Structure formats: C-alpha cells, structure tokens
C-alpha cells in the first residue's frame, strides 16, 4: 500500500466513526461539473480585436507572459488545466471567443456555427459548455450603457447580441446533449450620483423581455441573469442590482446568477442560496473572491468558499445549482490560476460532502448547540487532506504540489514561445 493509500485508509476510519461514507462522498464529487471560465486564459480579451482593451468596469491587472492569442492556444491551455484538475468539467465561453479561423468579426457577426470547433473539442473531451453574451469592450458600450441605454439604436444592438447569444447557447446545448447556461451580465451604470435611477431600470426590464421573448428548449439553453453592486466607473449606481435581477428572475422564472464578488464586502452569497432557491428554479454561481474593490481574485480555500459548498450540499441543491468560476489574474501563470482556483472549489465541495450531516442536524433539532459547535470545530481538524490526495490519485491527476511541476514544464515548452 502506498503512503497515500495508507493515509486514506486511516482517514476513512476517522470519518467512518462519525458515520461518514467517504467513498460515497468521492463518488458524488466525481459527478459534479465545475464550469471553468475561458477568460482567465487571456485576461478577457477574446478574438475580435486584440487592440480593443477590456472595458465595462472590469479589469485584469498584470502582464505575466504567455497568454493565449488564438482559440487553438486557448484550448491547449485549457487542456493542460483540465489534465491537472480531478473530475470532468465544463467550459464557460464568452461570445468574443468564437472561432472564425482567424477572420475578424464584429460583435453581431458571431453566429452559432462559429462555435462548432469549440463544440467538437468539447465533445471529444466530455465537456459541457456554458455561454455569455459580451456586452462590453466594444465602441457601442463606450457610453457605459448597453441594454439600459437611453439610445434606442444602442439598446437594439445589444438586444440583438443577447438574442443571438441565446441561439448560440441553444445550438451548443443541442449538439452536446447538455443544457448550456447562457448568462447575461451588463456593465450599465453611473460613476456618480444619478438624477434618475428609475428610467434605466425600466429600460433594462423592457430590453430583457425582448431578449427572452423567444422560447427556447430548456434542454438546450437556460437563461441566467447576473447582478452587481458596483464596478470601476460605475461606483454610484449599477442598473442591474441584486434587487433588480432577483425580482426579474423570480417573476420570469430565470436562473439567478450570484457572483461571490458582487455584493457588499461583508455580505456573503452563501446565506442567499437557501432563500433565493425558494423562489427561482435554479442558480448559477460565479465562484470568485472579492478583495477590496476587485471582485475577481483567484479562488482560495476561504471560509466563504467552504460555506458556499456547505450550503449547496446541506440543502441538497447540487441538481439546481450550476457552479461556475469567475476570476482573472494576469500577474501569475494563467494555467496555474485556473488549476489552483478550480482545485480549491472542488476541495471545498469535498469537505462539504464529508460532513456528518445527519448528526449535525440532529443536534440542532435537539437544541444541542454546544454539541453542534464542538463537532463543527472538530471537523476542521479531520484528515481531509488525505482524502483529497487519494481522490486526485484515483482521478489520475497530480497529487499535491506535483501539478505545479507540470505547469512549469508547460510554461517552458509552450507559453514562453508566444
């Protein structure tokens, strides 16, 4: 027996004594896909025009060498990341990442067939795909407004883009046999105090109703909407606030997207999950990490990450929550950023699956809050790492820091030559 197996056997005994079935937890974990966001691979630039900088109140800082410049490079980088992450996972694509064989297309030129290479690649590797209209980084978004613009021409342009994006999503979902979650996020907002908070929200509501007017088969495409508190340059007012989209998703029965970095700094999304799922059919999570003004740091194993995964598991919501990631760090190796962030999300999910749920619930119902506190704290010291290592080995991915050696090799052989 290897050291990893020995440690695993001992860990299994410890968890077993609490009534936790470790093998069942790992089997369940293996069935949960995480949607990796393509945009970590090139700092949210896309393939329309590399000269067109990132706008929309989001920003990637750093100039670590080796970012992907083409769809072929991006897929190669993703393949590398997926090979270091246990399990089978999805890809979250933005519209600006269509693959038109290098031809320059503008925003509303993208059609479903421009994503066929992504679809073929996904089929080969068993990845589902999710999608996003790109309502930023474009001259018609320079005013800071898209779907909520006071200019009808601008509004119509973005309505059309969002409509096509849903069709692309449905095309992808149909081809892959797994529904594509198409998530609408827009940057619209004001830097300084608005005189009218109402009109832009009324316009956004009308635009969204137009975007979603055509019914699409939910087996192919699921519509999601994402709120935000503020962005760079939209510090005072964001049209698509939490209340706006919560109301929208509830009244239209859409998927609500909660981004962990889009709320007040001390506000957490973990506590929202069980509330909103009483009223919306499904959730999309953008698992991220806010640090001061930035909402998109690489996901680390924080208390909040663990709380999010605990909520999903404790509430038995795995079938109603789509777990996606959303961070972009251009100051470190981008393949490492994906790998570290995704492995952390999966680690936190495994920790949640290893909870002695029945016992904790029982204590709570009996009013034994002392016991609940004691057990929750004891769990933090259990040999969780031994189970994680064994899971990685079982899934044929590097155990522990060994993934970093692989990334360093890839950097030398591939990234350094870009």
DSSP three-state, residue 46: coil
**Binder of residue 295, out of Zn ion, ligand RNT, none (CB less than 5 to 8 A by kind):** ligand RNT
The answer to whether 145 contacts ligand RNT (rule: CB under 6 A) is no
Which of 77, 296, 311, 355 is an active site residue? 296
**Taking a C-beta distance cutoff of 8 angstroms, is the pair 204, 245 a contact?**
no
Q: Which residues, at least 6 apart from 155, have a Cβ–Cβ distance to it below 8 Å?
A: 146, 147, 148, 149, 203, 207
201 binds, among ligand RNT, Zn ion, none (CB under 5 to 8 A by kind): none
Q: Catalytic: 293?
A: no
Using CB under 5 A, pick the residue from 254, 286, 289, 322 that binds Zn ion: 286
CB of 94 to ligand RNT, least distance (A): 6
- Where does 308-360 show beta strands of DSSP type E? 321-325
- In whole angstroms, how close is the CB of 238 to ligand RNT at the nearest point? 10
Q: Residue 228 has which token pair?
A: 């935000």
- Residue 302 C-beta: closest distance to ligand RNT, Å: 18
The separation between CA 25 and the C-alpha centre of its own chain, rounded to angstroms, equals: 22
Question: Strands 221-226, 321-325: parallel, antiparallel or unpaired by DSSP?
Answer: unpaired
> Which partner in Zn ion, ligand RNT, none is near 132 (CB below 5 to 8 A by kind)?
ligand RNT
Rounded CA separation 242/326 (Å): 18
What gap in Å lies between CA 257 and CA 270, rounded to an integer?
13
Per the DSSP assignment, residues forming a β-bridge with 37 are: 92
Smallest gap from residue 286 Cβ to ligand RNT (A): 5
E strands, 273-380, where? 283-287, 289-291, 294-297, 321-325
Q: Beta partners for 257?
A: 226, 284
Query: Would you call 326 a catalytic residue per the annotation?
Result: yes
Q: Which is nearer to ligand RNT, 182 or 339 (CB)?
A: 182
What beta strand segments (E) does 262-409 contain?
283-287, 289-291, 294-297, 321-325
In angstroms, give the least distance from the CB of 183 to Zn ion. 8
Residue 226 engages ligand RNT in binding (rule: CB under 6 A): yes
Is 226 one of the annotated active-site residues of the chain?
yes
Element (H, E) at 183: strand 180-184
Q: Is 97 in the site for ligand RNT (CB under 6 A)?
A: no
Query: Applying CB under 6 A, does 39 fall inside the site for ligand RNT?
Result: yes
Which of 332, 273, 272 has the alpha carbon at shortest distance from 297?
Answer: 332
**By CB under 5 A, is residue 289 in contact with Zn ion?**
no
Which of 282, 326 has the CB closer to Zn ion?
A: 326
- Binding segment (CB under 5 A) for Zn ion, from list 19-27, 230-238, 263-271, 320-328: 320-328
Say which residue the tokens 């069980």 belong to.
Answer: 274
Interacting partner of 145 out of ligand RNT, Zn ion, none (Cβ under 5 to 8 A depending on kind): none
Chain centre to alpha carbon of residue 418: 27
- Residue 296 or 355 having the CB closest to Zn ion: 296
- Residue 44 contact, options ligand RNT, Zn ion, none, Cβ 5-8 Å cut-off depending on partner type: ligand RNT
Establish if 130 lies at the interface with Zn ion (CB under 5 A).
no
Place of tokens 């950097």: 411
Q: Does 258 bind ligand RNT (CB under 6 A)?
A: no
**The tokens of 183 are what?**
């998530």
Positions that interact with Zn ion (CB under 5 A): 259, 286, 326
Positions that interact with ligand RNT (CB under 6 A): 39, 44, 58, 132, 185, 226, 228, 259, 286, 295, 326
């Amino acid at each position: 027996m290897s050291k990893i197996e020995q440690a695993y056997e001992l860990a299994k005994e410890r968890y077993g004594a609490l009534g936790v079935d470790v093998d069942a937890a790992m089997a369940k974990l293996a069935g949960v896909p995480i949607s990796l966001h393509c945009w970590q691979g090139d700092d949210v630039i896309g393939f329309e025009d590399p000269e067109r900088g990132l706008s929309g109140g989001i920003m990637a800082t750093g100039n670590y060498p080796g970012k992907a410049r083409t769809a072929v490079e991006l897929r190669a980088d993703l393949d590398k990341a997926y090979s270091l992450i246990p399990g089978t996972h999805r890809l979250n694509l933005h519209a600006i990442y269509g693959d038109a064989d290098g031809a320059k297309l503008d925003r509303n030129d993208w059609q479903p067939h421009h994503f066929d290479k992504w679809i073929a690649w996904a089929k080969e590797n068993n990845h589902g795909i999710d999608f996003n209209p790109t309502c930023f980084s474009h001259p018609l978004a320079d005013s800071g407004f898209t779907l909520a613009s006071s200019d009808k021409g601008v509004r119509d342009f973005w309505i059309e883009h969002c409509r096509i994006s849903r069709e692309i999503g449905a095309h992808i979902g149909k081809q892959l046999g797994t529904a594509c979650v198409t998530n609408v996020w827009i940057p619209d907002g004001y830097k300084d105090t608005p005189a009218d908070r109402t009109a832009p929200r009324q316009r956004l509501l009308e635009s969204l109703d137009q975007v979603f007017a055509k019914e699409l088969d939910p087996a192919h495409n699921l519509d999601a909407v994402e709120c935000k508190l503020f962005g760079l340059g939209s510090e005072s007012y964001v049209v698509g606030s939490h209340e706006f989209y919560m109301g929208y998703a509830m009244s239209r029965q859409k998927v609500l997207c909660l981004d962990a970095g889009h709320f007040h700094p001390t506000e957490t999304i973990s506590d929202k999950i069980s509330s909103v799922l009483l009223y919306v059919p499904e959730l999309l999570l953008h698992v991220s990490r806010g640090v001061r003004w930035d909402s998109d740091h690489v996901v680390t194993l924080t208390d909040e990450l663990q709380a999010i995964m605990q909520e999903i598991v404790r509430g038995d919501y795995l079938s109603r929550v789509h777990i996606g990631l959303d961070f972009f760090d251009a100051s470190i190796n981008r393949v490492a950023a994906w790998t570290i962030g995704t492995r952390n999300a999966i680690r936190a999910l495994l920790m949640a699956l290893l909870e002695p749920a029945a016992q904790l619930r029982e204590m709570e119902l009996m009013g034994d809050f002392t016991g609940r506190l004691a057990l929750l704290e004891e769990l933090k010291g259990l040999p969780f790492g031994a189970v994680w290592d064994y899971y990685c080995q079982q899934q044929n991915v590097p155990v522990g820091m060994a993934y970093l050696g692989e990334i360093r090799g890839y950097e030398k052989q591939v990234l350094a030559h870009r």
